[in-house]
Structure 1
Amino acid sequence: MITVLSDDTNQNIGKRVYEELCAREAEVEYIVINDVNVGPCYSCGGCTDKTYGKCIHRDDGDWIFGRLVRSNIMVWVTPVTWGSYSFKTKRVLDKCALIGDRHYYLKNGELVKKMADNIHGFYGIGVKDHCSDEEKQAFKNLVAENINIMSVDGNAYVLDNDVSEECILKIVEEISR
């Protein structure tokens, strides 16, 4: 299952990726986070002590998490904000630290964790018109670090809103391999 999670604020790339995956008859789910209520991670440790694997702060992260944990591949589409994920996307990503092993370990001198056994791909698609080279590189570095920490395969892309259909097709081809 491929899950496309998209902050569709001022962009439609997530929907385009989802539609192209559907056209290829992939098993895919589309989650739009524009109007969801996901609070911040308070780093309280409740998810590792009190309610293992579940945030103790109830919000829309509960149902989003339930869908993401069933994924084999996660595709996150987000406006690029200062070389990072949007505020909404970052909140969901923080809550996803619950997916997989709660422990971190050292790999090549870095702290990493093992995601759930079924999750083997993470793709970050940043969207921003006229994005500077520095901001593009910052976003790609961030996604690469998330891929490393999650111990999965994946890639990062930064696109303009008016990206060609050919570019979308190339990304979908890589995701659906």
Structure 2
Amino acid sequence: MKALILNGEEVDGLSLKHISKSIKEELRSCDFEVEEILLKEKEIADCLGLFKCWVKTPGICIIDDYGRKTAAKLINSELVVFLTPVTFGSYSYQLKKALDRMIPLISPYFKKIEGEFHHRKRYSKYPSILAVGVMEKINQAQSKIFKELVKRNSINFHSAYCETEVFEVADDFNNKKIKNLVKVISEKVGEQND
């Protein structure tokens, strides 16, 4: 199974290396082949919002940069990890712009899911999501918003499973919380792929 970590560490922000290391170790112990993209090191332009990826070049972003490669890697993974500082209850700029560029992976057409309208699938399978948010100090309101955002994104990405947790930067990332979080999502993804 393949796992892709989208590391949204900011250029001058918190270092997420120790957290990333812990997550990678746990994923590998669960038999995942792990690839990490440190987004701040990649050339990924902002989405232009032209929707040509839906009508002119279906499924492919018109911007030919690492955002296009990231979309291909994401759709070919069983699990995607969003690793990000939590910024006002949302993703970092680095992760947000990368996720905005994933819009070619869904269809421009809609369907009803649990009474709400969402984009249809473009592909037969989508990765499950594990989101790990990090804050200097836990803010309950921002944590709640972050978890809801990830949940909503998992619906739009047609993810079979989604797990989300917010940690303080000072937490011990070799702890049971990370192990349990990775174990839970790994078991679900493994069952899905059997």
Provide the aligned C-alpha RMSD in A.
Answer: 1.7
Residue 135 of structure 1: how far off its partner (Å)? 0.6
Return the alpha-carbon distance in structure 2 between the equivalents of residues 148 and 176 of structure 1: 19
Structure 2 counterparts to residues 109-148 of structure 1, below 5 A: 109-113=115-119, 114=121, 116-148=123-155
Unaligned 5+ segments in structure 1 are none
Residue 120 of structure 1: how far off its partner (Å)? 4.2
Residue 123 of structure 1: how far off its partner (Å)? 1.8
Return the alpha-carbon distance in structure 2 between the equivalents of residues 18 and 34 of structure 1: 19
Structure 2 counterparts to residues 57-136 of structure 1, below 5 A: 57-113=63-119, 114=121, 116-136=123-143
Unaligned 5+ segments in structure 2 are 188-194
- Relative to the length of structure 1, the TM-score reads 0.91
Partner of 2:192: none
Partner of 2:38: 32
Q: How far does the alpha carbon of each residue in 1:62-98 deviate from its partner, in whole angstroms, 9 at most, with x for none?
A: 2212211211111110110110000110011111122
2:155 maps to a residue whose letter is N
Match of 1:158 among 160, 166, 171: 166
The sequence identity of aligned pairs, in percent, is 27
Partner of 1:167: 177
Return the alpha-carbon distance in structure 2 between the equivalents of residues 154 and 112 of structure 1: 17
Residues 1:42 and 1:60: Cα distance change in structure 2 (over 3 Å): same
Q: Is the 8 A contact 1:115 1:150 kept in 2?
A: no
Q: Is the 8 A contact 2:8 2:93 kept in 1?
A: no
